[in-house]
Structure 1
Amino acid sequence: MKTFLKMPLIKANAMLDKLSQTDSFFKDPAISCWAKKQGKISIYSFAMVFATAEELQANYKAMRDHVAISFQSQVLESSAERWNLYLFYIVQEKMAHGLKQEIEHDKFSTRKIVCANVEGIIDEVRIQALIEAELFDFPITQRPVSTGTLRGLLDSAHPAVGQVLSKFADADKTASLEDLLNLLGHE
C-alpha cells in the first residue's frame, strides 16, 4: 500500500514579492498568497481580509482581476494549476447571503470562497486554518464494503432490471438490449 506524505500549506511570500514587481496591487498588506504541493502541481490560494461587507463588495473584483491577469495568465504554466486556484475573501462582519452567493458564483477566472463573520484576530495562522479547512481537511466517511455480487445487488434492488439481464444472457441480444433500454427509460 502506498502512503502519501501530507504536504503543508505554506505562505508564498516570494510569489507576492515577484508579483508586486510588476503589479503594485500585490503590495497591499491585506493580501496573502498560499501554496500547497499536491503531486506534480502546486495549489495556490490568495486571501484578502476585509473589515466590512461593503468594503468586500467594492473591492472583490479587483483582487479577482489582478490574480487572473498577473498570476493566472502570466505566472502559471500548468493547466492543472490554473484550474486549481482559489481566492479567499475573509470578512470580519456578518454579510448578506445574496452578496456571498454573487461572489462565490462568479465564474470568471477562479473559485471564490467567502468566509464571513470571522471573529477575533485574523492573522496568518487563522487564514491558513480557514484555507486548510475549506480545501484540504474534510472528513471521508468509510462506507461498509458489500460482499455481494453485482448481479445479486441488482436482483435485490432492481428485480425488473435483473430479469431483463437474465433474458439478455440467453436470448437475441438486440431484442433484449431494446427491452433493457426501454425498462431503464421508464424507471
Structure 2
Amino acid sequence: MHGPVSAAWLLVALCAATGAYCLLRMRSGVEEQRRAAGGEALMGFGMAVMAVPAAVFTPPRWAWPVYAAVFGAAALRTLWAALAAPHHLHHLVGASAMVYMSVAMAAAPPEAHHAHAGTGVPLLTGVLLVYFAGYVLLAGARLVPAAVATTGRGSAAVTGPGAGIRAGAVGWGDRPELARACRLSMGIGMVAMLMTM
C-alpha cells in the first residue's frame, strides 16, 4: 500500500486492534457470532499486515498470491454462509476486496509498491470505494445512540434497537454495538487502503 507513513501506521494500529478485539469476541457463547468474529479477526489482521508501510517492510513477490489464496478461501467460505444468511454478503465483499488488492499488488511492478504510478482509479477500485464509503456512513449512523424518553417516575426508558436488552444482560463480547464498531473500523480501513491503490 502507498501513502504517508504516519497514516499507514495509524491504519495498522486500527486494524490490528480491531482484529484483536474480534479474537476476543470469538469466546461468545453464540456460534454464529463466533464464526463472524473469526472472519472479522482474519480481515483485521490481514488488513494490518497489508497496511505496513513499504519503506519498513516489502513482502516478497510470492506473498501476494498466498494472500490472495487465503482471502479467496475465506470468500468461498463466506459465500457458502451467505447463501443461507444474506447478512454475510458484507463479509463476502470484504474478503473479495482483499483478494482484489492482493492480486493488484502481485501484478504491480516492484517500483509501484513505493510510489503511486496510476493515472486514474480503476473501475473495480471505484465501485469498492463507493460501497465501503456507503457502508461506513450507514454503520456510523447505526452507532448513534437511541433516543432516551423520560417516564413519569423520573426513570429513563430506552427506545430503539436495544430497547429490549437491559444493561449488563449481554456479555461484552456479544454486544451488537461493539461488533458494529469493529465493522465500522474495518470499513474505514478498507476505504483508506483502496484510496492508496
Normalised TM-score (structure 2): 0.26
Higher radius of gyration, 1 or 2: 1
Greater RCO, 1 or 2 (C-alpha within 8 Å, sep 6+): 2
Structure with the bigger percentage of helix: 2
Structure with the bigger percentage of strand: 1
Normalised TM-score (structure 1): 0.27
